[in-house]
Structure 1
């Protein structure tokens, strides 16, 4: 039996892939930094060994899968090559794995994790399916004919696959450490579209997606009447009941649906799933039931009530100005009678610098704003700005540290909305400790 070693196994995609391979009866282990990440629990629950980085972790006979953040000079990768072991990059291995199935890639600048999670939850009830979600969740089905995975546009990694079907949620400018501008981002998605084998499902409300060309059919979904699949009569329900909406296919009524989430972005994610499932002849009743039951993915509007105070804590991965804005809006729609306190940790110096004014404008839609130090990430550990540069653009905003975490207690009957793609959970944990003391 093959044994796989993951270099950087705590990454969201790497953790999920390790779980898939284990489900497919493969021996799996991995290594990473000793710092704890939210992806670790799933690995621990499956008893997948995780070691600190060390070249001695690499043994003859292993197959190495290397995370995207780790260069070829990493000690474990160097050791693997000295032993003549096969070394695959994460995105290359995914591309090869997808070829064994009828494959569905879910991509886009925003919303791909939530959409992948929702599609996997709905579709696996229709047909045996393996899936990889970018929140660190993976599931392998050895009887599965389908593979659904979150496909990332960073550094054009998604071009290492040739999916049968592809959902594209939107195209916006991001990853300014790699892409030059929006046109450069579009060119990557355009190249992907030409690699899709059977059909594309794209949000027609996005201007750039209307320009996509492909050799296969493109099915458009969205709010606008020109879309093949259109949603109408959206109602955000009170009492934590979710959102209801109608779906029309080429202006003919198809069905009435309900989801637990809030915000137009979640309606669009659901509509993408509805469009794909209709194309694949999944019964409407089954889609409707599964959509209503889905509870979301990790770190996407994950809620908890805090003890001893009238506050609701929400943890969200939002790290782009558009994501920040729609997440704040979703919190307002779900809790219209509460103040929204945004606690934001920027992710990477390059993104913060590129979107400084946009971040400020999005955060100002909250009632109160706290800012945490910029999270540099493994690929970018320093920059030419600090969190104070963003603070200067947001009137009344404050810097949050462990030393003043108790200041959050003053916001009675509020939503504490923690947003960021780094380690913002450490501030959440500190506040929970403060409430117990």
Structure 2
């Protein structure tokens, strides 16, 4: 088990390989603000680079052995392979090296209380909801987010050592290194199939994570998710459940309605039998689940119900999470991070209920492995869209794969009667969409690669 005491500065000089990632950049800023000398490298400039610059963190573009200048510790992201020059150099010098996940597990132990949000979908939204509530309370949390939140002007807030709020990603089994006082499980779905064999492999990882917790921990779990029920027996401490229209749950969201824009209102029957009314300012039924997890975890952290209610209602969302970028001639342009069939389907369903014109989905597939392994699920997730436009696959960490292409998905969609087009480049998509949209249409651009640039091109936002 990796031990890290944030106050003793045993590892005074820390180098981070892949520092431009959203999680890595947050950790870098946290360390810098706690008196550490932080350097890093990445392959390209990213959206998070401005946060690194603002905090005076030195980083270089390009990864080579010369960047390793006798650090006390090297942290590297999961995208880094064993043949990375910097990683090889650090190991040859005998410098301790740890993955981001292992380091975060060690960091978590520095805080008296910690809230870790896990699940295949909804982590960033739920974590940011929790963060907003705690920031509006008397707490001063330390926060590590997977997206930018206006209230903290970025994805990290350096608070005190009383409470840490962070996402807990299951990729490469990282979740097994985390020991939160409050752990949230939103959902468990088939994802990260470049690492996991199948859904059962993922479920076993969640079981291992839960078995590692101590008897004083609390696990907050969505009881409406069938796969979540498969890990309940592994919970070591207190189990607290929630659900929608689910009387078996400890907290039950009921009397669910939506305003004309699709924003939910609901009554939450509390564990003690009382009822509290909540209203959200973000779209979609799925966000009721995220809100319930945020409500319960902050209640358990000692926040009063009025602060929670007001914070939930004023929460406007994160960048790239059903984010309204603009309005072109009466057509809304929306950006979302969704890259899994379940996420895309849920978002399209939420938008379809409140779209007066056509709902047009522009999708950039993310990784060949995910596209291939979930091919049928992707073909069936666009039912609520009137038209689907698919760009080339964003490879991310994977080599080019000729056995799968975006055109294969388009052909399958057309075969089932869906209006779908394969437009490989961003320029082609922009030209087509702007020539096609009409008043009252809605366009959602979705994907976790660089599709945010495409959405901004369509919306006319300069970068």
Q: For the Cα contact (< 8 Å) 1:350–1:383, is it kept in 2?
A: no
Return 5+ residue gaps in structure 2 as ranges: 1-8, 149-153
Partner of 2:422: 399
2:403 is equivalent to residue 384 of structure 1: yes
Partner of 1:278: 299
Q: For the Cα contact (< 8 Å) 1:123–1:277, is it kept in 2?
A: yes
- Are the structure 2 counterparts of residues 253 and 337 from structure 1 closer, same or farther at C-alpha, using a change threshold of 3 Å? farther
Q: Which residues of 2 match residues 163-178 of structure 1 at below 5 A?
A: 163-178=180-195
Partner of 2:35: 25
Q: RMSD in angstroms over aligned alpha carbons?
A: 2.1
Q: TM-score, normalised by structure 1?
A: 0.93
Give runs of ≥4 in structure 1 deviating > 4 Å: none
Q: For the Cα contact (< 8 Å) 2:321–2:335, is it kept in 1?
A: yes
Return 5+ residue gaps in structure 1 as ranges: none
What is the deviation of 1:369? 0.7
Q: TM-score, normalised by structure 2?
A: 0.88
- Are the structure 2 counterparts of residues 50 and 320 from structure 1 closer, same or farther at C-alpha, using a change threshold of 3 Å? same
Three-state SS of the structure 2 residue aligned to 1:392 is: helix
Q: Which residues of 2 match residues 263-274 of structure 1 at below 5 A?
A: 263-274=284-295
Structure-1 separation of matches of 2:450 and 2:456 = 11
Show CA shifts across 1:247-306 (max 9, x none): 102482331111111111111000011112222331000101111122212211111214
Partner of 2:52: 43
What is the deviation of 1:62? 4.4
Three-state SS of the structure 2 residue aligned to 1:271 is: helix
Partner of 2:437: 411
Q: For the Cα contact (< 8 Å) 1:231–1:247, is it kept in 2?
A: yes
Q: Which residues of 2 match residues 155-170 of structure 1 at below 5 A?
A: 155-170=172-187
Q: For the Cα contact (< 8 Å) 1:20–1:139, is it kept in 2?
A: yes
Three-state SS of the structure 2 residue aligned to 1:252 is: coil
Three-state SS of the structure 1 residue aligned to 2:129 is: helix
Partner of 1:225: 247
Structure-1 separation of matches of 2:94 and 2:100 = 18
Q: How many residues align?
A: 431
Structure-2 separation of matches of 1:63 and 1:368 = 50
Structure-2 separation of matches of 1:312 and 1:24 = 42
- Are the structure 2 counterparts of residues 432 and 49 from structure 1 closer, same or farther at C-alpha, using a change threshold of 3 Å? farther
Structure-2 separation of matches of 1:407 and 1:88 = 46
Q: For the Cα contact (< 8 Å) 1:246–1:253, is it kept in 2?
A: no
What is the deviation of 1:96? 0.4
- Are the structure 2 counterparts of residues 94 and 404 from structure 1 closer, same or farther at C-alpha, using a change threshold of 3 Å? closer
What is the deviation of 1:338? 3.4
Three-state SS of the structure 1 residue aligned to 2:25 is: helix
- Are the structure 2 counterparts of residues 41 and 340 from structure 1 closer, same or farther at C-alpha, using a change threshold of 3 Å? farther
Structure-2 separation of matches of 1:251 and 1:97 = 35
Three-state SS of the structure 2 residue aligned to 1:363 is: coil
Partner of 2:6: none
Q: For the Cα contact (< 8 Å) 2:168–2:175, is it kept in 1?
A: yes
Q: For the Cα contact (< 8 Å) 1:39–1:135, is it kept in 2?
A: no
Structure-1 separation of matches of 2:218 and 2:429 = 52
Show CA shifts across 1:167-204 (max 9, x none): 00011211222222222211111111112231100000
Q: Which residues of 2 match residues 121-200 of structure 1 at below 5 A?
A: 121-126=132-137, 127-135=139-147, 137-197=154-214, 198-200=217-219
Partner of 2:259: 237
**1:10 counterpart (11, 14, 20):** 20
